Chain A
Amino acid sequence: MDQIFDIFLLEAVLNGVLLGGLLALLALGLNLVFGVIDVVWICYAELIMVGMYAIWWLHSAMGVHLALAFVAGILLVGVLGACLHQFIIRPVLSAEPINQLLVTGGVLFFLQAIATVAFGVEFRNIGVRLPGVNVGDMNFSLARMIAFGVALAAIAATYLFLTRTYMGTAIRAISQDRTIMPLMGVNPSRIYLLTSFMGGALAGLAACLLVLQYDVHPAIGLSFGPITFLICVLGGLGNLIGGFVAAFVFAQFISVGGFFFQLEWGYVLAFLFFIVVMFWKPEGLLSKRK
């Protein structure tokens, strides 16, 4: 009896790890944009929703090969991120943070409404259902395993880009001192645009991974938008490593908490943990700024 119990607990922990990888990818794009531009894209999950619809429409309605639809989805949401910066964020770049928050909040509902007009409120899926994988007595979803692997690879690629290239170094530098960037020959507007494109492309990649697991509908952003934001806050907004760690902590609360009680209770515990951390360490578990 003890043996069985341990196996299922191990399964819950491992499923938490798989979920953590995906949540870490979700947090990365939002954190990157905030860390560099100092603006929170409250509509981040809605960018993912647009990506999911784009992939669904291209693949299921237009018959485009799924791999091609994925590439198109990533590029489309990347461009959407760049446009979001150019036309929505840039005019309010020096405005009060609350105004920036409100304007991206406006975009959130705008995108939801547009999606409802375009595709209705029905749940849509791309008709791909990946099998489960059995390891001993444990069962894992293949879609989740793929999501975990791809998310980790994307996070590693982003890390290498930020630390090993001139553009990546400039992205890290501009978040520390924006005003002297021109003295380095860097045009700050271009760096912001590139960062926004990257943030969007990461949302697009998340859309590829999520559309394999979930049906898309106009309000799907609400199922993971708040979690993504809370994870970023938990890790210290703008702190990429903090967000990465927080994603795995949060995922364990959801997965193991759900194992001991019920699935819904996992979320209750995770959000309770978040509230406690906000009292205890409001700047986040791994804070960048005081």
Chain B
Amino acid sequence: MTTMLKLQDVTAGYGTFQALFGVSLEVKAGEAIAVIGPNGAGKTTLLRAISKLIPVTGGTLEMEGRRYNDLPSHEIIGLGIAQVPEGRRLFPRLTVEDNLRMGAFLPDARAHFAERLDYVYSLFPRMKERRLQMAGTMSGGEQQMCAIGRALMSGPKLLLLDEPSAGLAPVIVQSIFDLIRRIRSEGYTVLIVEQNIQQVLKVVDRAYLLETGHIRQSGSAAELLDSEEIRRAYLGLD
């Protein structure tokens, strides 16, 4: 498998506050990877750094073998990296279809707008029913579908998902993880950040445990599920 995303010793933060201390990780084509960890571990910061929404102060970011530390944030999606941000962040007073249109803003993506719109609607028929509804008036689960659809409209190679289950009712959470399974089976490479460790480890191949800005542990999803430390600290099991 070829390496898609590679981070080496990445440090980043906000102003004088450092949130990531030399994080290294790798995502290969076709893989689904989770970054798990407690609140405040730096998981969201990590995805923001990958998308260059915050400056990277050290280390290297590579996509398909190309170092992209120096690219501005709005050019990252052009590399094939699309992010579904924390809290979904749809444009609340735009229709579902206009939100999806924004996902296809890049000239290359515009050429494929109609065909990808059909694809997203086939993946989420609910979005087709609601295509002219204001995105902000939909339920949390529907908004998550729309946010994922928006990211898919760019035709990404790598999909970054930031806490997709956060703030959703338990019954919806299950359907979100089913959704992620479907995205995987469509052949997308996925990097997902989650606090819902038990659930996310069931849908990914490998995972990294991030604590206070450091990678503490990594391995296959099964290994991490079996790990003494994770079972005790995060799953509440002995």
Contacts and interface: CB of A to CB of B under 8 A. Distances in A.
Interface of A: 166, 169-170, 172-173, 176-177, 179-188
Nearest to B92: A176
- Residue of B103, B105, B150, B154 with most partner-chain A CB within 10 A: B105
Contacts, number: 64
B53 A173 contact: no
Interface in B95-118: 98, 101-106, 109-110
A172 B76 CA distance: 22
A169 B153 CA distance: 15
21 contacts: A166-B104, A169-B102, A170-B105, A173-B98, A173-B102, A177-B89, A177-B91, A179-B53, A180-B85, A180-B89, A181-B74, A182-B74, A182-B76, A183-B53, A183-B83, A184-B74, A184-B105, A185-B78, A185-B109, A185-B154, A186-B74
Q: Which 4 A-B pairs have the closest CB atoms?
A: A182-B73, A182-B74, A185-B77, A185-B106
Provide the main secondary structure of the chain A interface. Answer: helix
User: In which size bucket is the chain B interface?
Assistant: 20 to 34
A26 B77 CA distance: 38
Given A182-B51, A183-B85, A184-B103, A176 B93 contact: yes
- Residue of B74, B103, B106 with most partner-chain A CB within 10 A: B74
Contact of B53 (A182, A185, A187): A182
B82 A169 contact: no
Nearest to A173: B91
Nearest to A189: B74
B74 A185 contact: yes
- Residue of A179, A180, A184 with most partner-chain B CB within 10 A: A184
A170 B110 CA distance: 13
Interface of B: 51-53, 72-78, 82-83, 85, 89, 91-94, 98, 101-106, 109-110, 150, 154
Contacts of B93: 172, 176
Contacts of B72: 182, 187
Nearest to A165: B101
A188 B93 CA distance: 18
A199 to B, nearest CB: 20
B105 A187 contact: no
A170 B82 CA distance: 17
B189 to A, nearest CB: 17
Given A166-B104, A187-B74, 15 more contacts: A166-B101, A169-B98, A173-B102, A176-B93, A177-B91, A182-B52, A182-B76, A183-B51, A183-B77, A184-B77, A185-B78, A185-B109, A186-B105, A187-B72, A188-B74
Contacts of B82: 183
B98 to A, nearest CB: 5
B96 to A, nearest CB: 13
A168 B230 CA distance: 48
- Residue of B52, B73, B78, B109 with most partner-chain A CB within 10 A: B73
- Residue of A176, A179, A180 with most partner-chain B CB within 10 A: A180
B85 A169 contact: no
A185 B92 contact: no
Contacts of A166: 101, 104-105, 110
Contacts of A186: 74, 102, 105
B112 to A, nearest CB: 13
A176 B94 contact: yes
Contacts of A179: 53
Contacts of A181: 74
B75 to A, nearest CB: 7
A232 B78 CA distance: 38
B156 to A, nearest CB: 11
Nearest to B135: A176
Contacts of B110: 166
A140 B81 CA distance: 60
Contacts of A188: 74
B157 to A, nearest CB: 14
